[in-house]
């Protein structure tokens, strides 16, 4: 397998870490790949943190990587807006990390909701009704809707918790408008951004992740190899029942090097 | 017109009052109807207040009416649960007024979300992510969903604001489950509850309200007469363009007696 792939597209939550805890052997596996000259990109549907925040977290866990090796949906949303809608002002429904990442890409913030060309929605764990209403007013005044990702739930500290889909639903049901763009995996946008970082053709790349629709789906659609890890949201039975059949099923990222 | 109708089904927001302000002449018109022996019922899609709270507001504005003449969606939700699902425990996503009204109908509250047979959703202007997650968990553990109403927006102090649809959307998108029941106008449930209070056949009743889909729609579907007032959300042009053509269009409730 290692001979077949020069580039590795690696998911974060459920693949490299769970919450604040590194998955056993992840460090060794990832540094092992680097030592063999493999190229890595970390590709995550997290849109509520910035690349800087994520890099800080990963280096804090002992991973020796560069910020440019991280692509979050906040990052790719920033790239998308900078390339396709330069200078257009956005309103954010979500956490500060998204604002930081959009600022890093030179995306201007609208001074008030009514002046935004785009509403960008991401996870917001401290949302208020007032903030929902500001987002509502942006759309009522003509802003298009971009969601960093469409995930329904994530495993939170107090059990399964509402993910970005909850914020999208609040706006979609009250305005009658669905998102124009959903940036997150398994989108072509995320696959293309990952391949651009790696600088390799898709068939030389392997996606490693715990989500069948997001990670394995993205890999299949983009023509990459796919490896499901069982340290997150999916079981071996899920894989057997899924429309997306991974090329490999690994107990964890730890065994990546030993294949 | 007054000879034709013995019962009056009267909307509140935008028809009798706007915010904290009585609409000019509403008091005189309503007491005039009463003086002529007409029967009244106030029928509102508000689900976040109790009948007691609404009665207090109306009497505080000088209206001499009985609590039994008020039917809110919180009231009809209480009736619905008491009659069709007696003893089944509910979890509430919404404000205290709904809890008070359900308690008045003997509907038990579940001690935690996971034990609820029903999630009842209404407007919640102080909602938190934690509360959304509790509601999410109720549905993930099998609770059915009842919405007091499905209105998208209402005119708030700071402009148009997200109504119950926003809370429904957050839960529907994150759980993948739509409401099993929406209690509010123009439902048959609300029409039947109003006719039961009036004790009259529908053709002897006139709906008076400012919403074409909610008020005029309910009246048409139930076989009542319909009068649109122009003191709320609809204009004469809206009425002309609507699939629901009111029998009468009134500048305001004030002119009801003079027809």
What's the pLDDT tens digit per position in B80-135? 999 999 999 999 999 999 999 999 999 999 999 999 999 999 999 999 999 999 99
Chain A environment of B159 (Cβ under 8 Å): 137
What are the distances in angstroms from CA A241 to CA A209, A229, A234, A236?
Answer: 17, 16, 11, 9
For strand B205-209 and strand B7-10, is the pairing parallel, antiparallel, or unpaired? Answer: parallel
Which tokens in the block code for residue A80? 């998308």
CATH architecture label of B7-45+185-256: 3-Layer(aba) Sandwich (3.40)
pLDDT in tens, B217-256: 999 999 999 999 999 999 999 999 999 999 999 999 999 9
Q: Class for domain A86-182, per CATH?
A: alpha beta
Among candidates A140, A152, A171 on the partner chain, residue whose Cβ is nearest the Cβ of B174: A152
Given pLDDT bands bounded at 50, 70 and 90, which one contains residue B19? confident
* pLDDT tier, B2 (very low <50, low <70, confident <90, very high otherwise): confident
Angle value at C-alpha A106, between A102 and A111, nearest 5 degrees: 75
Question: Best interface-test mutation with B: which of A155, A162, A165, A167 has the largest number of B CBs within 10 A?
Answer: A162
Contact A162 B124 (CB under 8 A): no
Closest CA to B2 of B36, B26, B40, B43: B36
Task: Give the Cα separation of A238 and A218 in Å (integer).
Answer: 17
Q: Please state, as a whole number, how many other Cβ atoms lie within 10 Å of the Cβ of residue A65.
A: 17
Helix, strand, or coil here: A160? Answer: strand
Q: What is the pLDDT of residues A96-130, one digit of tens each?
A: 999 999 999 999 999 999 999 999 999 999 999 99
Three-state DSSP at A118 gives strand
ipTM of the complex: 0.94
CATH 3.40.50.1000 placement within chain B: 7-45+185-256, 84-182
The Cα of A200 is separated from the nearest Cα of chain B by a number of Å equal to 36
Please give the Cα distance from B73 to B94 (Å, whole number): 13
Contacts of B124 in chain A (CB under 8 A): 129
3-class SS string, A209-228: ECCHHHHHHHHHHHCCEEEE
Mutation site for B-interface testing, chosen from A123, A157, A163, A169 by largest number of B Cβ within 10 Å: A169
pLDDT of residue A197: 98
**DSSP label at residue A256:** G
Which of B125, B129, B147 would you mutate first to test chain A, the one with the most A CBs within 10 A? Answer: B129
Nearest to A174 among B124, B127, B152 (CB): B152
Binding-face residues of B in 197-256 toward A, CB within 8 A: none
Where does CATH 3.40.50.1000 sit in chain A?
Answer: 7-45+185-258, 86-182
Distance, CA of B198 to CA of A200 (rounded, Å): 75
Q: Which residues are CB-contacts of A192 (< 8 A; sequence separation ≥ 6)?
A: A222
Beta-carbon contacts of A31 under 8 Å, excluding residues fewer than 6 positions away, are A63, A64
Does A175 contact B159 at a Cβ distance shorter than 8 Å?
no
At B141-168, the pLDDT tens digits run 999 999 999 999 998 777 899 999 999 9
| pLDDT at site A175 | 98
* Helix B188-198, helix B73-84: angle, nearest 10: 90
Of A13, A70, A5, nearest in space to A43 by CA = A70
Residues 6+ apart with CB under 8 A from A178: A145, A172
Question: Could you tell me how many residues make up chain B?
Answer: 259
CA distance B219 to B188: 10
pLDDT computed for residue B79 by the predictor:
98
Those of residues 160-179 in B touching chain A at CB distance below 8 A are 160-163, 165-176
Strand stretches in A17-132, DSSP E? 17-18, 21-22, 39-44, 70-72, 90-93, 118-121
B25 vs A164: CA distance, rounded Å: 47
The whole-number pLDDT of residue B218 equals: 98
- Pairing of β B21-22 and β B17-18: antiparallel
> Between the CA of residue A190 and those of A79, B48, B54, B212, what are the distances in Å?
11, 42, 52, 45
User: What pLDDT does B122 receive?
Assistant: 98
Report the alpha-carbon distance of residue B137 to residue A191 in Å, rounded: 33
Query: What are the pLDDT digits (tens) for B30-76?
Result: 999 999 999 999 999 999 999 999 999 999 999 999 999 999 999 99
Residue B23 confidence (pLDDT) above 90? yes
User: Which residues of chain B lie closer than 8 angstroms to A125, CB-CB?
Assistant: 129
Cβ count near B22 (within 10 Å): 15
Would you tell me which CATH number, out of the four given (3.40.50.300, 3.90.930.60, 3.40.50.1220, 3.40.50.1000), belongs to the domain B84-182? 3.40.50.1000
Question: Helix, strand, or coil here: A187?
Answer: coil
Structure tokens at B244: 């629901």
Per the CB < 8 A criterion, the answer to whether A153 and A162 are in contact is: yes
pLDDT higher than threshold 80 for residue B207: yes
Compute chain A's Rg from CA coordinates. Answer: 18
Q: Which residues of chain A have pLDDT under 50?
A: none
**Rg of chain B in Å (alpha carbons):** 18
Query: Taking CB atoms and an 8 Å cutoff, what residues of chain B touch A169?
Result: 168-174
pLDDT value, residue A20 = 87
Is A62 in a helix, a strand, or coil? Answer: coil
Query: Is A152 close to B176, i.e. CB distance below 8 A?
Result: yes
Query: Can you say whether residue A19 is alpha, beta or left, with left for phi > 0 and alpha for psi between -120 and 50 degrees?
Result: left
- Cβ contacts (< 8 Å) between B168 and chain A: which residues? 169, 173
pLDDT computed for residue B132 by the predictor: 98
SS3 for chain B, per residue? CCCCCCEEEECCECCCEECCEECCCHHHHHHHHHHCCCEEEEEECCCCCCHHHHHHHHHHCCCCCCHHHEEEHHHHHHHHHHHHCCCCCEEEECCHHHHHHHHHCCCCECCCHHHCCEEEECCCCCCCHHHHHHHHHHHHCCCEEEECCCCCEEEECCEEEECHHHHHHHHHHHHCCCCCEECCCCCHHHHHHHHHHHCCCHHHEEEEECCHHHHHHHHHHHCCEEEEECCCCCCHHHHHHCCCCCCEEECCHHHHCCC
The pLDDT of residue B109 is: 98
**Fold observed for domain A7-45+185-258:** Rossmann fold (3.40.50)
CB pairs under 8 A between A and B: 92
Place of tokens 């359900």: B102
């Amino acid at each position: 397998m290692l001979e077949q792939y020069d580039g590795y597209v690696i998911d974060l939550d459920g693949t490299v870490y769970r919450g604040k805890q590194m998955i056993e052997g992840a460090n060794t596996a990832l540094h092992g790949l680097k030592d063999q000259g493999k190229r890595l990109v970390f590709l995550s549907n997290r849109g509520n943190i910035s690349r800087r925040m994520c890099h800080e977290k990963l280096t804090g866990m002992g991973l020796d990587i560069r910020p440019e090796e991280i692509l979050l949906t906040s990052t790719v949303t920033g790239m998308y807006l900078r390339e396709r809608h330069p200078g257009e002002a956005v309103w954010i429904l979500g956490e500060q990390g998204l604002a930081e990442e959009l600022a890093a890409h030179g995306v201007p913030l609208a001074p008030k909701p009514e002046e935004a060309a785009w509403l960008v929605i991401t996870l917001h764990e401290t949302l208020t009704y007032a903030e929902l209403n500001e987002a509502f007013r942006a759309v009522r005044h003509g802003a298009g809707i971009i969601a960093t990702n469409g995930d329904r739930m994530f495993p939170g500290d107090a059990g399964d918790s509402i993910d970005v889909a909850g914020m999208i639903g609040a706006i979609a049901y009250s305005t009658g408008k669905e998102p124009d763009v959903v940036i997150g995996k398994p989108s072509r946008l995320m696959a293309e951004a990952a391949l651009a970082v790696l600088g390799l053709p898709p068939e030389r790349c392997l996606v490693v992740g715990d989500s069948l629709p997001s990670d394995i789906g993205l890999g299949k659609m983009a023509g990459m190899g796919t490896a499901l890890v069982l340290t997150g949201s999916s079981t071996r039975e899920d894989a057997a029942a899924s429309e997306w059949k991974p090329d490999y099923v690994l107990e964890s990222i730890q065994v990546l090097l030993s294949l």
